[in-house]
Chain A
Amino acid sequence: MKQGSAARWVAAIAAACCALPALAFDLAELMAMLQRNQSGEATFVEQRFVKGLDAPLTASGTLSFAAPDRFTRRTLKPREESMVVEGNTVTMSRSGRSRRIALDAAPEMVGLVEAVRSTLTGNGQTLERYFRPDVSGNAERWTLDLVPLEPRFASQVSSVRVGGTRSEVRSIEMQLGDGDHSLMVIEPVRLTTSEPAKPPGAEASRP
């Protein structure tokens, strides 16, 4: 082989390698982008399609999270209920009863919580621990596919698809093991509160 052609090959491969990250949007980039959100609030509308029921089940409420490990899902309609996750503790309240359990004692719960919490907070390491993640699309409009690894959770949920634009999570779709599926559409609550008001005359007092 001639020296010249080999050098060209090396150059081409090197160029391709350098160019790739710029072309494809990957998990690391997505996570880095999401990490910028230290906290957030959103409203959601969830539709669940259950075989054997005459109509889809609809629920709506609010979501909120705060890095590193707080996540709350509060359903307001059709019934009030809530799930508050803080670190390893999950508190679930329904019909006036609440109970607290250790998150990691229930692997199926871990999957459910981490699919949302780790995505919202951009915790790629945790996502990769419980799922096989696959990112497609671009920063403007991306899709994160999560295939569960934990056997008990995997028997309940075959895949989770999270969709979003830039650093906002906009939808979570869940394909359940028994063929049912759900779609949650998320509308971020943009904090419209203006900058803290400056003391009157702050500007004027400048010499």
Chain B
Amino acid sequence: MITAVSPRSRGALALTLWLAAMALGALLIARAQFSADLSAFLPVSPDAQQRVLIEQLQSGVAARTLLLGIEGGSAEQRAQATRTLAASLRESGLFEQVQNGEPGDWEAAGELLFQHRYHLSPAVAPGRFTVEGLRDAIDETLSLLGTPAGSAVKPLLERDPTGETQRIAEALIPANAPRSENGVWVSRSAPRALLLTVTRAAGADLDAQAQAIERAHSAFAPLAAQGLSLQASGAGVFAVQSRAQIEREVKLLAAVGVAAIGGLLMLAFASLRALAVALLPVVTGIVTGVAAVSLSFGSVHGITLGFGSTLIGEAVDYGIYYLMQARPTVGSTPGSGWRRWRDENWPTVRLGLLTSVCGFAALVFSGFPGLAQLGVFSVAGLTGAALATRFVLPVLVPDGASGQGLRRPLGRLGAHAVQALPRLRGLFLLLGLLSAGLLIAQGGQLWRGDLNSLSPVPRAAQELDSMLRADLGANDAGTLVVASGADQETALRAAEAATQRLDALVEQGLIAGYEAPTRLLPSQAAQRARLASLPQAAELRERLARATHDGPLNAERLAPFVDEVQAARERPVLTRASLAGSPLASAVDALLFERPNGGWTALIPLQPGSADVDPARVRQALQHLHGDPSAGEIQVVAVADELNQLYATYLREALTQALLGAVAVVVVLALHLRSGRRLLAVCQPLALAVLLTLGGLALLDVALGILHLVGLLLVVAVGSNYGLFFARLDAEGGIDDDTLASLMLANLTTVVSFGLIALSHIPALSAIGRVVAPGALLALLLAAVFSRMARPRAPVRR
């Protein structure tokens, strides 16, 4: 039979293509990079301030900072432990900086600073070496002698009577340094010793971050035996922990989800074969989705993977519809059931797929890679799952599932429900009105979820982090002045111009101080200007004699000063290269770097005074500094504000996209249904389901964010299928038990799988689950409530 051979060979072709596609997908996934850092949730085309922020988040010193605390034992034990741990970490080579309050590191650097004091001291200016200037500077130095601070000044008196070393040192001591006891840093609020380390590895290199953290723990192991405990925090710790948590939960959710849904399907079909077939579109969907994301983005974010497990809930519906609806009519040839499904049900599934794809396609064009990944994943995954259902399942099980299982009771229950539910129409409309009222009353308050609500970092870890940061005076979200230029020199000059203005703010008490790379590496211009103000030996000698006349310090003693000033005049200016190998280099590199896209940036973190730094005041103070573009550019970045703004933009963009997606769904439905009344019949329950879900969340005072929005899109995607089935069956004048049973089973699996996700500890996932589980249930319920069917008809018998 020629007609029989053709479908079979087409079946073989479909299977072969499917297997090839799966193999290709598996290959792509095996080669895919998986990431869990924040960068996927940052915009791809940021403005200048956001770019600085992102560079900082990805590779800045904040992303590489590891904060350590040691608790337990006595104060002496802890002090000894931080010395041992610091020595071991310095030796490991994994850390660029290890600070615990010991002077160690700076002693070596001190010599270099002392040698270059006339290059570095901000006090060195033309007036400094006049008779008047010398007298004033020497007087100031003398005012320290005979006091405890004099013990540092006195040994240098003959070489540095003008106190340039003191000036340099003064600027390098931060205003909010940690408490020091027994020569090491300790907490002010708890019996705890502190260490501040900066890893060499980039913050985004999570494997290296994990290695550095592991190193700290292993170095601490012998100390732990004494009853001491080590606490670690920082961006790297959070990222490593989050990655592990996402991996763990995604695996757990997938396993529990598959088990729960498998159990349900077993109950429904009482057949292992049917179970395997129902899961086939799910597997296809996930493989297609992950492969598509990996292909288009180069890497797959952990959250996207987590989202993958949510797709089980929707993709499994396709399998259920097929298995229950592809039954041969009485009297037709066995093996022809799929044709009936293809003719009667596939158009509805296809339309449902199309609306879902429209909804998620809006996300594909998002400026945020994380959201775009979710979009690509959903579109590709759902398409893959639907295609597998359409072309592969008919080959494997042409007549759907044969077993009965729960099918009949479900169908009967459904039939009763369909009869009874329309009576509740008034109640649901009233609830809808109440929800709308509540939403309007909450207004802009509703979408107040911030970036923190996305963070998978548990509260206890966040508290530990803020405690250690408070102890160490290490602000994570402060205000930065950013000076940039085409080259290093321009950036440094811009930074110098900015710090002059900032000094005034320090005087006014608006800020306590600031850190600047120019303190250790001034611009070449500034260094040359300083050297130019150093007088010749003879002249200096003559002026010194006049300046010290009548004073307690004899000019004869200051011969070494005259020699060293001469030596300084000859000494070449400091460059980044001449700092190499000293701890000064890493201190400079933390604040001065070449940008990936060209140009140089110098960072000036501000230290808050008694009140928080007001970025507006700082901006005002720095006004008119950036008139000339060749003189570099100055910006003030308030990190926390910037992040929140970023998220707000992100949310606004996502809301617009979701609305566009919703419009696209309605347009597709309208084009297909070609009837205002039927369009209303499909959209009404869907819109009401979304409204009631939102109302419920508002009632529970949930701060809604982007992932709730993604969840609502999913509700629309899943719910449109229900609506379409009901609309079609309405048009045909009744509903059959099989379709009803398949809808109920599909809904049950969706609610169960999203219900599981709602219990996740990852806020991103639980947000989606908490929206979709009730939303999907409501969508089916409301589809039945607004159904116009008078009474169910008997199973089709044509």
A52 nearest CB across to chain B (Å)? 7
A53 contact set on B, CB distance < 8 A? 142, 145, 552-553
A94 contact set on B, CB distance < 8 A? 140, 143
Q: With A176-B150, A177-B151, A178-B154 known to touch, is A102 a contact of B179 (CB < 8 Å)?
A: yes
A112 contact set on B, CB distance < 8 A? 147-148
B176 contact set on A, CB distance < 8 A? 102
Residue-wise interface mask of A (82-116) relative to B, using a CB-CB cutoff of 8 A (1 in contact, 0 not): 00000010000011011111101111100110000
Q: With A53-B553, A54-B553, A95-B140 known to touch, is A102 a contact of B177 (CB < 8 Å)?
A: yes
Residue-wise interface mask of B (132-154) relative to A, using a CB-CB cutoff of 8 A (1 in contact, 0 not): 00001001101101111111001
Question: Would you call A157 an interface residue if the criterion is a C-beta within 8 Å of the partner chain's C-beta atoms?
Answer: yes
Chain A residue with Cβ nearest B146: A48
Q: With A98-B506, A102-B175 known to touch, is A49 a contact of B146 (CB < 8 Å)?
A: yes
Question: Would you call A19 an interface residue if the criterion is a C-beta within 8 Å of the partner chain's C-beta atoms?
Answer: no
Interface residues on B, range: 35 or more
B139 contact set on A, CB distance < 8 A? 78-79
Residue-wise interface mask of A (143-157) relative to B, using a CB-CB cutoff of 8 A (1 in contact, 0 not): 000000001110111
Contact of A52 among B147, B181, B506, B557 (CB under 8 A): B557
Question: Would you call A180 an interface residue if the criterion is a C-beta within 8 Å of the partner chain's C-beta atoms?
Answer: yes
A100 pairs with B154, CB closer than 8 A: no
A45 nearest CB across to chain B (Å)? 14
Question: Would you call B180 an interface residue if the criterion is a C-beta within 8 Å of the partner chain's C-beta atoms?
Answer: yes
**In the bound complex, what is the Cα–Cα distance between A108 and B148 (angstroms)?**
8
B115 nearest CB across to chain A (Å)? 24
B147 contact set on A, CB distance < 8 A? 48, 112, 174, 182
A59 pairs with B180, CB closer than 8 A: no
**In the bound complex, what is the Cα–Cα distance between A53 and B554 (angstroms)?**
8
Q: With A99-B170, A101-B173 known to touch, is A180 a contact of B146 (CB < 8 Å)?
A: yes
Q: With A57-B552, A99-B175 known to touch, is A105 a contact of B609 (CB < 8 Å)?
A: no
A81 contact set on B, CB distance < 8 A? 143
B146 pairs with A50, CB closer than 8 A: yes
B148 pairs with A176, CB closer than 8 A: yes
Question: Would you call A10 an interface residue if the criterion is a C-beta within 8 Å of the partner chain's C-beta atoms?
Answer: no
B173 contact set on A, CB distance < 8 A? 99, 101, 105-106
**In the bound complex, what is the Cα–Cα distance between A105 and B554 (angstroms)?**
36
Question: Would you call B473 an interface residue if the criterion is a C-beta within 8 Å of the partner chain's C-beta atoms?
Answer: yes
Question: Would you call B352 an interface residue if the criterion is a C-beta within 8 Å of the partner chain's C-beta atoms?
Answer: no
Of residues 123 to 137 in B, which have CB atoms within 8 Å of A's CB atoms? 136
**In the bound complex, what is the Cα–Cα distance between A59 and B142 (angstroms)?**
11
**In the bound complex, what is the Cα–Cα distance between A179 and B157 (angstroms)?**
16
Question: Would you call A55 an interface residue if the criterion is a C-beta within 8 Å of the partner chain's C-beta atoms?
Answer: yes
Most interface-central of B136, B146, B173, B554 (chain A CB within 10 A): B146
Of residues 27 to 52 in B, which have CB atoms within 8 Å of A's CB atoms? none
Contact of B150 among A50, A102, A106 (CB under 8 A): A50
B238 nearest CB across to chain A (Å)? 27
Of residues 149 to 207 in A, which have CB atoms within 8 Å of B's CB atoms? 151-153, 155-157, 174, 176-178, 180-182
Most interface-central of A55, A98, A105, A182 (chain B CB within 10 A): A105
**In the bound complex, what is the Cα–Cα distance between A81 and B144 (angstroms)?**
11
Q: With A105-B180, A151-B183 known to touch, is A99 a contact of B513 (CB < 8 Å)?
A: yes
B145 pairs with A50, CB closer than 8 A: yes
**In the bound complex, what is the Cα–Cα distance between A182 and B473 (angstroms)?**
35
A153 nearest CB across to chain B (Å)? 7
Contact of A99 among B142, B180, B188, B506 (CB under 8 A): B506
**In the bound complex, what is the Cα–Cα distance between A178 and B151 (angstroms)?**
7
Residue-wise interface mask of B (162-178) relative to A, using a CB-CB cutoff of 8 A (1 in contact, 0 not): 00000000100101111
Count of residues in A whose CB is under 8 Å from the partner chain: 43
Question: Would you call B507 an interface residue if the criterion is a C-beta within 8 Å of the partner chain's C-beta atoms?
Answer: yes
A54 contact set on B, CB distance < 8 A? 552-554
Chain B residue with Cβ nearest A86: B610
Question: Would you call B512 an interface residue if the criterion is a C-beta within 8 Å of the partner chain's C-beta atoms?
Answer: yes
A52 contact set on B, CB distance < 8 A? 157, 557
A106 contact set on B, CB distance < 8 A? 173, 177, 180
A8 nearest CB across to chain B (Å)? 47
**In the bound complex, what is the Cα–Cα distance between A49 and B142 (angstroms)?**
11
B180 contact set on A, CB distance < 8 A? 104-107
Chain B residue with Cβ nearest A46: B146
**In the bound complex, what is the Cα–Cα distance between A105 and B176 (angstroms)?**
8
**In the bound complex, what is the Cα–Cα distance between A36 and B256 (angstroms)?**
72
B146 pairs with A156, CB closer than 8 A: no
A60 nearest CB across to chain B (Å)? 12
B149 contact set on A, CB distance < 8 A? 108
Of residues 50 to 69 in A, which have CB atoms within 8 Å of B's CB atoms? 50, 52-57, 59
A108 contact set on B, CB distance < 8 A? 148-149
Chain B residue with Cβ nearest A48: B146
A180 pairs with B150, CB closer than 8 A: yes
**In the bound complex, what is the Cα–Cα distance between A38 and B148 (angstroms)?**
28
Chain B residue with Cβ nearest A182: B146
B179 pairs with A100, CB closer than 8 A: no
Chain B residue with Cβ nearest A92: B170
B553 contact set on A, CB distance < 8 A? 53-54
B181 contact set on A, CB distance < 8 A? 104, 107
A151 contact set on B, CB distance < 8 A? 183
B123 nearest CB across to chain A (Å)? 9
B183 contact set on A, CB distance < 8 A? 107, 151-152
B148 pairs with A100, CB closer than 8 A: no
**In the bound complex, what is the Cα–Cα distance between A64 and B669 (angstroms)?**
82
B579 nearest CB across to chain A (Å)? 24
B140 contact set on A, CB distance < 8 A? 79, 94-95
B170 contact set on A, CB distance < 8 A? 99
A111 nearest CB across to chain B (Å)? 7
B244 nearest CB across to chain A (Å)? 36
Contact of A48 among B136, B145, B178, B609 (CB under 8 A): B145
Contact of A153 among B148, B473, B554 (CB under 8 A): B148
A57 pairs with B151, CB closer than 8 A: no
Contact of A98 among B146, B179, B188, B507 (CB under 8 A): B507
A105 pairs with B145, CB closer than 8 A: no
B140 nearest CB across to chain A (Å)? 6
Residue-wise interface mask of B (98-141) relative to A, using a CB-CB cutoff of 8 A (1 in contact, 0 not): 00000000000000000000000000000000000000100110
B175 pairs with A101, CB closer than 8 A: yes
B148 pairs with A105, CB closer than 8 A: no
A57 contact set on B, CB distance < 8 A? 142-143, 145-146, 552
**In the bound complex, what is the Cα–Cα distance between A49 and B146 (angstroms)?**
6
B183 nearest CB across to chain A (Å)? 7
A59 pairs with B143, CB closer than 8 A: yes
B148 contact set on A, CB distance < 8 A? 108, 111-112, 153, 156-157, 174, 176
**In the bound complex, what is the Cα–Cα distance between A99 and B607 (angstroms)?**
12
A156 contact set on B, CB distance < 8 A? 148, 151
Chain B residue with Cβ nearest A110: B180
**In the bound complex, what is the Cα–Cα distance between A171 and B157 (angstroms)?**
28
A87 nearest CB across to chain B (Å)? 11
B139 nearest CB across to chain A (Å)? 6
Chain A residue with Cβ nearest B157: A52
**In the bound complex, what is the Cα–Cα distance between A100 and B506 (angstroms)?**
9
Chain B residue with Cβ nearest A104: B179
A105 contact set on B, CB distance < 8 A? 173, 177-180
14 additional A-B residue pairs with CB within 8 Å, beyond A57-B145, A79-B140, A99-B175: A48-B147, A50-B145, A50-B552, A78-B143, A81-B143, A94-B143, A99-B506, A101-B173, A102-B179, A107-B180, A107-B183, A151-B183, A176-B151, A178-B154
Q: Which A-B residue pairs are the 9 nearest by beta carbons?
A: A48-B146, A105-B177, A104-B179, A156-B148, A53-B552, A55-B552, A50-B145, A156-B151, A50-B146
A-B CB contact pairs (8 Å), 17 listed: A50-B150, A53-B142, A53-B552, A75-B143, A79-B143, A100-B512, A100-B513, A101-B173, A102-B177, A102-B179, A112-B147, A151-B183, A155-B151, A174-B147, A176-B146, A178-B154, A182-B147
Which A residues have a C-beta under 8 Å from some C-beta of B? 48-50, 52-57, 59, 75, 78-79, 81, 88, 94-95, 97-102, 104-108, 111-112, 151-153, 155-157, 174, 176-178, 180-182
